[in-house]
Structure 1
């Protein structure tokens, strides 16, 4: 089958190719984002004092004092210090063998 014809074919429902697998995995919600946690809390800001004044016939806030309640992230939801490793060694065959070009044909002796 020509590549141009193959690219436009629809995939079956139970297709296990890498494209369909990636779509299914990306559609799943992230476990760490959706898991409710009692330890984590977001940073919150509260207005403590607000000074209002009449500006051009409209009451507006001209000065405010805020109180910040610091957030907290538990160890489970804390992002890693380094990015995840995507590449790893699949098979380590040892030291690399140098390529030696053969200048003239030869036959193996028994």
Structure 2
């Protein structure tokens, strides 16, 4: 069998390769934490007797924003303990 025939073979229904797994995961409809559900209420502003009345937003327990940013926000790359800087005051020549 040549390579082009092999590459175009259909996968088994129970295939667990990365391509089939990715297709299954992307097909699942996952709601984002930022998508409000039917228990959440958006903030509204309305005019009553010439005054603007603002109703603040309320969120269910699942969609309540965190008090602190995600952990990755603080640390971009942790390369371990810092290496101390040792200045060289005397010029040197490489041996070799």
TM-score range relative to shorter protein: 0.3 to 0.5
Give the TM-score normalised by structure 1: 0.39
Q: Which has the higher contact order (CA 8 A, sep 6+)?
A: 1
Give the TM-score normalised by structure 2: 0.43
Rg (Cα) greater in structure: 1
Greater strand share, 1 or 2?
1
